[in-house]
């Protein structure tokens, strides 16, 4: 709560399933963070199913100590948009919630992405910065696309692993750092203003202005 407010969000809190369902149904939130196991007769899954049955499409992040693959699948099947296992780093939660709220807002299919003078054409799969064309490997393209779609937000290494490589665990090697630094070589190195920033203890962020 405190962390969310400090990050500039307005947050409301319900400490049992019944109140949570009432709150979620009566107000229009950008995102809901939901625990699987709740007191008050309605658990997280039931709450979400009820909500979805009422055509409420608010993005939902599950937060749970139930960490088995089955639990995760159950949560996503019930209509959850993301599933985070306790214990978690707050930066991870914040990044994921912000990614979801963004996704909720811009749903239309885009063909062009732009951050500062960096432009990406999704149809011709080409990237240019200013007037200079940048050649990217297919995977680098997807990595940059992911970062650009979440421009201005913190993107964690785990999010990149899941979103770009479809990895659902953390490898011991810093594979993501290596790939991000290679991408940085290509999009930032020859230019004056860096776009791809490292956020300490959290991940990366692509943005035009200075952090």
Residues within the interface to another protein (CB under 8 A): 67-70, 85, 87, 89, 139, 165-175, 178-179, 182, 201
Answer whether 31's CB lies under 8 Å from 104's CB: yes
- Which is nearer to another protein, 52 or 179 (by Cβ)? 179
Tell me the CA distances in angstroms from 97 to 27, 37, 121, 144, 200, one per residue in order: 18, 20, 27, 20, 18
Distance of alpha carbon 43 from alpha carbon 139, whole angstroms: 40
Min CB(5)–another protein separation in Å: 21
Residue 44 · residue 73 · CB < 8 Å? no
Nearer to another protein, 53 or 169 (CB): 169
Of residues 66 and 208, the one with the C-beta less far from another protein: 66
Q: How far is the CB of 151 from another protein (least distance, A)?
A: 23
Task: Kindly tell me which of 178 and 193 has the beta carbon lying closer to another protein.
Answer: 178
**28 vs 201 by CB, closer to another protein:** 201
Closest distance between another protein and the C-beta of residue 26, in Å?
A: 36
Contact 37, 64 (CB under 8 A): yes
Shortest distance, CB of residue 137 to another protein, whole angstroms?
8
Quote the least distance from Cβ 85 to another protein, whole Å: 8
CA 25 to chain centre: 24
- State the pairing for strand pair 203-206/82-85: unpaired
């Amino acid at each position: 709560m405190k962390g969310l407010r400090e990050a500039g969000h307005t947050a409301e809190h319900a400490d049992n399933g019944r109140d949570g369902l009432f709150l979620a149904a009566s107000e229009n939130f950008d995102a809901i963070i939901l625990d699987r196991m709740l007191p008050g007769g309605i658990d997280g899954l039931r709450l979400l199913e009820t909500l979805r049955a009422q055509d409420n499409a608010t993005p939902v992040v599950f937060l749970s100590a139930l960490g088995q693959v089955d639990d995760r699948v159950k949560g996503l099947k019930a209509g959850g948009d993301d599933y985070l296992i306790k214990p978690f780093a707050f930066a991870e939660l914040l990044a994921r919630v912000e990614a979801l709220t963004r996704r909720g807002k811009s749903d239309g299919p885009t063909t062009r992405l732009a951050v500062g003078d960096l432009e990406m054409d999704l149809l011709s799969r080409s990237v240019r910065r200013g007037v200079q064309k940048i050649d990217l490997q297919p995977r680098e393209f997807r990595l940059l696309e992911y970062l650009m779609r979440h421009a201005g937000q913190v993107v964690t290494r785990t999010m990149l692993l899941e979103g770009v490589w479809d990895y659902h665990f953390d490898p011991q090697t810093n594979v993501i750092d290596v790939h991000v630094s290679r991408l940085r070589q290509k999009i930032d190195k020859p230019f004056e203003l860096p776009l791809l920033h490292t956020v300490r203890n959290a991940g990366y962020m692509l943005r035009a202005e200075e952090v």
